[in-house]
């Protein structure tokens, strides 16, 4: 038996820009350099944010960060990184960088968390390699 949940159409009247937050340059977290954060999603149940790094495994293997974002009445107050997850290829190994294997280097861009299945989905916009060289 399969339970199917159908999302209802929800209309959003307006959006409000809360602000931005700059992670310090070369900020280190659990042995990685945080940077190139390009996609973000929210886990309502755990009250955590997931942020993908788009550095193409150049600095550290392809990965996403888990963080808590604390807001005050007017803006983002603090971002606290709590974990890191390395993306693994079909062999269960971290993706290579372009010097190791340019044809299989990812170019992470976006991620989405599915709260029903508790799965993370991510995209790689990638570079199109058309020849052996």
Choose between 46 and 55: higher pLDDT.
46
pLDDT reported for residue 23: 93
Tally the C-alpha atoms within 13 A of residue 109's C-alpha that lie toward its C-beta.
6
Which residues neighbour 94 within 8 Å (Cβ) at sequence distance 6 or greater? 57, 61, 62, 86, 87, 88
Phi, psi for residue 101 in degrees, rounded to 5: -165, 85
- Asked which of 14-18, 28-32, 64-68, 125-129 is least confident by mean pLDDT, the reply is 125-129
Q: Residue 84's pLDDT band (boundaries 50, 70, 90)?
A: very high
pTM of the model: 0.84
Structure tokens at 128: 């199109």
What is the chain's length? Answer: 133
The model's pLDDT over 97-111, given as tens digits with 9 standing for 90+, comes to 989 988 888 999 999
The model's pLDDT over 1-53, given as tens digits with 9 standing for 90+, comes to 555 555 677 788 888 888 889 999 999 999 999 988 989 999 999 999 999 99
Phi, psi for residue 44 in degrees, rounded to 5: -60, -40
The average pLDDT across 75-90 equals 95
What sign results for the dihedral spanned by CA atoms 99, 102, 105, 107?
positive
**Residue 60: alpha-carbon gap to chain centroid:** 14
**Residue 87: alpha-carbon gap to chain centroid:** 10
């Amino acid at each position: 038996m399969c339970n199917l949940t159908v999302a209802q159409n929800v209309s959003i009247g307006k959006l409000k820009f809360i602000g931005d937050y700059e992670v310090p340059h070369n900020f280190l977290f659990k042995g990685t350099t945080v940077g190139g954060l390009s996609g973000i999603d929210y886990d309502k149940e755990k009250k955590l944010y997931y942020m993908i790094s788009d550095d193409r495994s150049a600095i550290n293997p392809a990965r996403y960060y888990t963080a808590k974002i604390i807001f005050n009445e007017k803006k983002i107050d603090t971002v606290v990184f709590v974990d890191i997850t390395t993306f693994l290829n079909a062999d269960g190994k971290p993706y290579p960088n372009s010097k190791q294997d340019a044809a299989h280097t990812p170019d992470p861009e976006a991620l989405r968390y599915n709260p029903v299945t508790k799965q993370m989905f991510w995209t790689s916009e990638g570079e199109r390699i058309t020849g052996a060289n």
